[in-house]
Structure 1
Amino acid sequence: MQTDKSAALPLAGVRVLDMSRILAGPWCAMVLADLGAEVIKIEHPERGDDTRDWGIRIGATETAYFNSVNRNKRSVSVNLQTPEGVEIARGLASKCDVVIQNFKPGGAVKLGLGYGDLRAGRDDLIYCSITGYDHTGPEATRPGYDLVVQGEAGLMGMNGEASQPPLKFGVAVVDLFTGMYSAQAILAALYQRQRTGNGRSIEMALFDCGLMITAYYGLEALLLGEDPPRYGNAHPSIVPYGVFDAADGPLVITVGNNAQFQRFCREVIERPDLADDARYLTNLDRSKHRAGLLPEIHRELLARKRDDLLARLTQANIPCGEVLGLHEALTSQRASDAGLVNAYDHPVAGRIDLLSPPYRFDGERLPVRRIPPPLGEGTADVLSELLEIPGERIHALKAAGVI
Structure 2
Amino acid sequence: MEGLRVLDLGRYLAAPWCTQLLGDLGAEVIKVERPGKGDDMRSYGPPFLKNREGEDDDSPYYISSNRNKKSVTVNIANPDGAQLIRDLARECDILVENYKVGDLKRFGLDYNTLKDVNPHLIYCSVTGFGQSGPDCHRPGLDSLFQATCGLMSVTGEADGAPQKVGVPISDFIAGMYATVAILAALRHREINGGEGQHIDIALLDSTISAFTSIMQGYLVSGIVPMRAGSSTPGNDPAGQFTCSDGDLILSAGADNQFKALAKVIDRPEWADAPEFATRPLRVSNRDIINAGINESLSAHPRHYWFEKLQAAGIMCAPINTMAEALEEPQVKHRGVVIEIEHPRAGPVPIIANPMRMSGTPIPTPRISPDVGQHTDEVLQAVLDKSSEDIEALRRNGAI
Q: Is TM-score (shorter-chain normalized) higher than 0.5?
A: yes
Residue in structure 1 matched with residue 2 of structure 2 by the alignment = 12
Residue in structure 1 matched with residue 346 of structure 2 by the alignment = 350
Q: Following superposition, which runs of at least 4 residues in structure 1 exceed 4 angstroms of deviation?
A: none
**Closer/same/farther in 2, CA of residues 173 and 124 from structure 1, 3 Å limit:** same
| Equivalent pair of 1:357/1:367 in contact (CA under 8 Å) | no
2:225 corresponds to 1:243: no
Aligned positions, number: 392
Q: Distance in 2 between matches of 1:278 and 1:363?
A: 54
Residue in structure 2 matched with residue 43 of structure 1 by the alignment = 33
Residue in structure 1 matched with residue 212 of structure 2 by the alignment = 215
| Equivalent pair of 1:72/1:368 in contact (CA under 8 Å) | no
Aligned pair partner of 1:57 in 21, 29, 48: 48
Q: Distance in 2 between matches of 1:365 and 1:329?
A: 24
Kindly provide the amino acid, as one letter, of the partner of residue 249 in structure 2: V
Deviation of residue 182 (structure 1)? 0.8
Q: Distance in 2 between matches of 1:271 and 1:364?
A: 51
Matches within 5 A, 1:3-402: 11-55=1-45, 56-58=47-49, 59=51, 62-196=58-192, 197-266=194-263, 268-362=264-358, 365-402=361-398
| Equivalent pair of 1:229/1:236 in contact (CA under 8 Å) | no
Kindly provide the amino acid, as one letter, of the partner of residue 62 in structure 2: F
Larger mean Cα displacement after TM superposition, 222-231 or 354-363:
222-231
Deviations 1:218-265 (CA, angstroms, capped at 9, x unpaired): 122334434223111111221122221111111121225221111111
**Closer/same/farther in 2, CA of residues 258 and 365 from structure 1, 3 Å limit:** farther
| Equivalent pair of 1:18/1:29 in contact (CA under 8 Å) | yes
Q: Distance in 2 between matches of 1:283 and 1:50?
A: 51
**Unaligned regions of 5+ residues in structure 2, if any?**
none
Q: Distance in 1 between matches of 2:252 and 2:4?
A: 45
Kindly provide the amino acid, as one letter, of the partner of residue 57 in structure 1: F
| Equivalent pair of 1:357/1:365 in contact (CA under 8 Å) | no
Kindly provide the amino acid, as one letter, of the partner of residue 245 in structure 1: T
Q: Secondary structure at the match of 1:129?
A: strand
Q: Distance in 2 between matches of 1:367 and 1:220?
A: 41
**Closer/same/farther in 2, CA of residues 207 and 90 from structure 1, 3 Å limit:** same
Q: Distance in 2 between matches of 1:46 and 1:371?
A: 19
Q: Distance in 1 between matches of 2:278 and 2:16?
A: 46
**Closer/same/farther in 2, CA of residues 61 and 86 from structure 1, 3 Å limit:** farther
Give the TM-score taking structure 1 as reference length.
0.93
**Closer/same/farther in 2, CA of residues 185 and 258 from structure 1, 3 Å limit:** same
Q: Secondary structure at the match of 1:120?
A: helix
Deviation of residue 374 (structure 1)? 1.1
Q: Distance in 2 between matches of 1:113 and 1:164?
A: 47
**Closer/same/farther in 2, CA of residues 226 and 256 from structure 1, 3 Å limit:** closer
State the Cα RMSD in Å: 1.6
